[in-house]
Amino acid sequence: MTTFKNPHIKYPVPPFPKQKQEVPGTDHALSPKADHGEKSYVGSEKLKGAKAIITGSDSGIGRAIAIAFAREGADVIVSYGYDSEADDAKETAKWVEQAGQKAILSQGDVKDHEYCKKLVQLAVKEFGQLDILVNNAAFQMGHKTLKEIPVEEWDTTFNTNIRSMFYLCKAAQPIMKPGSSIINTASVNSYHPNAVLLAYAASKGAIQNFTANLAQMLLEQDTGIRVNAVAPGPVWTPLIPSTMPEPENFGKESPMKRPAQPVEIAPAYVFLASEQSSYIAGATIAITGGKVAI
């Protein structure tokens, strides 16, 4: 019998312990620990036989997606960017393999066009196909004034968050067969930009438009490839103590008065990648803890 829980208190509620990490942060230093579905996600073969690339899958939402995909029957390329994320990426791969699926680790910079092409080529080499591309890697930094934002950091944000999606989609589309899915990670900031996240929020707005436009383009070409997005609200990941002020209060302003855990976001990606969403394209699923996203 299913036991339903009060969503306000299902997971840790701020205030959290005071903490600060260096960018991009690591999962093992996070307090409280994030829940990626390690003990709770149960699959039902929704993605049996599928092959996926997930960028930014060393920790946070990306790790939760990787665990969920694996337990649904998919093999996964775990893509990550920083040397400091290597141990977290290996942890993700471990969970994929424990689900009985193949995990391929790939470190590289998604801002680099050549790496993006090589990542897609890796899927062809290791899997012989690519059915699901999840563009999840992201960069953010918080600043209270325009003056504080370095030009280089602005470029890094856009190159990581949106330019990489163009690179990866361009490389992947020719080898993706009808029925395949591209899923992009947008944000509640696409609708309600946070004042301290100017560059990040602007890039997420671009992702929203990119998703809708690319979906229409591929539909008009009869490729059979669906493009959709997920727009999470506040989520407890290593990015928070490494980039946000007062991480101990993160998510407190959400209508649910807490941040989401990554495990609460991953099922939307499973749904959009599966046959259950075959009539959905150009859409965004908002998982915002009650924050209206229209």
Give the residue numbers marked as catalytic: 200
- In eight-state DSSP terms, residue 79 is E
CA-closest candidate to residue 285, choices 184, 216, 206? 184
In degrees and rounded to multiples of 5, residue 54 shows phi and psi of -130, 110
Which residue, 93, 64, 91, is CA-closest to 77? 93
Report how far residue 139's alpha carbon sits from residue 154's, in angstroms, rounded to the nearest whole number.
Answer: 10
Tell me the residue ranges of DSSP E strands in 114-236. Answer: 132-135, 181-185, 226-232
Work out the widest C-alpha separation in the chain, in whole angstroms. 56
CA distances from 240 to 23, 100, 148 (A): 9, 31, 19
- Cα 51 to Cα 74: distance, rounded to the nearest angstrom: 6
Give the DSSP letter of residue 274.
Answer: S
Residue 56 · residue 34 · CB < 8 Å: no
Tokens of 160: 């990581």
CA–CA distance, 178 with 131 (Å, rounded to integer):
9
* Structure tokens, 106: 């790939």
Q: Which two tokens stand for residue 275?
A: 């046959």
Adjacent-strand bridge partners of 227 = 182
